[in-house]
Chains A and B, each alone.
Chain A
Amino acid sequence: MLGPHQSSFVMYDEEFKRITAVIEKLLRESNSKVIFLVDKNGQLIAGCGETEHLDTTSLASLTAGNIAATGGLAKLIGEKEFSILFHEGEKDNIHISIVGQRVILVVIFDQRSSLGLVRLRVKKASDELGAIFDQLSKKAEEAEQGGHADSPFAEITDDDIDNLFS
């Protein structure tokens, strides 16, 4: 799904619903405030919880930057990656983990939860998410081989593109 030779990362309705269901369950079971999923390039994939007052686009980009930077650090000391990051604040804390080496799961929580509970629930949810992303990856590969018959971009015209900038 996220290899350099694949031109794009595709999300379909069906998988999106399943992913959202998993993170909503995680939100309840871990007593957390906000959960979101980001790809390693900084694109927001899904989110749930109290997201309305949050700049999720910026959060996604900075999270990916954070994971990239710590990944660089890991390599320098001979580690493959640091799969969990934890930031503790006065009120809110952020738990960041890598799911299936390709997407980033971010959990924001306060005193109503605890690091132990979040870690425990994240572990279970990660397995479920990993399976969905595996499936998504297969589906995207098949679609790519089949030439993306239903892609909205196969038929775009120069006019469509020029209109974006008018």
Chain B
Amino acid sequence: MSFINYASREINCKIVYYGPGLCGKTTNLQFVYQKTAPEAKGKMISLATETERTLFFDFLPLALGEIRGFKTRFHLYTVPGQVFYDASRKLILKGVDGVVFVADSQEERFDANIESLENLKVNLEEQGYELEKLPFVIQYNKRDLPNVSSVEELNELLNPWGVPEFEACATTGEGVFETLKAVAKQILLELKKGAGGR
């Protein structure tokens, strides 16, 4: 749920990066953090274990610029991907405006992707959302690795809706900003629809 503040002329939206463990959600945020000008970003917070696995969430606030005199801010969150952190994942989805599903393209993670996407749907439904109605994009990450499934195969199982999909390599940053832009754009268009614009 976006927050429109007429007093400070700001609009805040929440984007959640979802996906199976070790698919690169945190790496996506780290790349965005590294490549964003200091004045446009806040501190990146990572609540992680000693082995750098996400424990609760990562958080990165971004200020993109102004639309019609309103400062546009996006709050980026990741969920912990490991299966047993499901209770935490549900909490982070509260009030979400748009979702990025980061899939791990490696063949051996095929089932993990499907399981995580199903889990996303279930957790959204519990909060009263439908994935089909939310701004939503998919990122096929780790395209640089040798043992990856083809995009056609991934699309067939993970993207029956035909939402925008992006090939990425989050460690080098390829596809990271394209993914973010696509979901941000959908969120703003959704706001426009909500405001009665066409």
Contacts and interface: CB of A to CB of B under 8 A. Distances in A.
The residue in B69, B75, B127, B195 that gathers the most chain A C-beta atoms within 10 A of its C-beta is: B195
Interface stretch (B58-66, B103-111, B152-160, B161-169): B58-66
B53 interface: no
B188 A57 contact: no
B43 A58 contact: yes
B39 to A, nearest CB: 14
B4 A11 contact: yes
Contacts, number: 146
A153 B88 contact: no
A10 interface: yes
Interface string B175-196: 0010001001100111110111
Interface in B18-71: 42-43, 45, 47, 56-57, 59, 61, 64-65, 67-70
A8 B2 contact: yes
A71 B70 CA distance: 33
Nearest to A152: B68
Interface string B87-101: 110111011000000
Per DSSP, are chain B's interface residues mostly helix, strand or loop, or mixed? mixed
A65 B42 contact: no
A69 interface: yes
B69 A154 contact: no
Given A161-B67, A161-B185, A148 B61 contact: no
Given A8-B1, A55-B43, A13 B7 contact: yes
26 contacts: A4-B127, A8-B1, A11-B5, A12-B6, A12-B7, A13-B6, A13-B7, A15-B7, A16-B5, A16-B8, A41-B95, A43-B75, A61-B59, A61-B75, A62-B59, A68-B94, A72-B88, A72-B91, A147-B195, A147-B196, A151-B4, A153-B188, A153-B195, A156-B68, A160-B67, A163-B65
Interface of B: 1-8, 11-12, 14, 42-43, 45, 47, 56-57, 59, 61, 64-65, 67-70, 72, 75, 87-88, 90-92, 94-95, 127-129, 177, 181, 184-185, 188-192, 194-197
Interface of A: 2, 4-13, 15-17, 39-43, 45, 55, 57-58, 61-62, 65, 68-69, 71-72, 147-149, 151-156, 160-161, 163-165
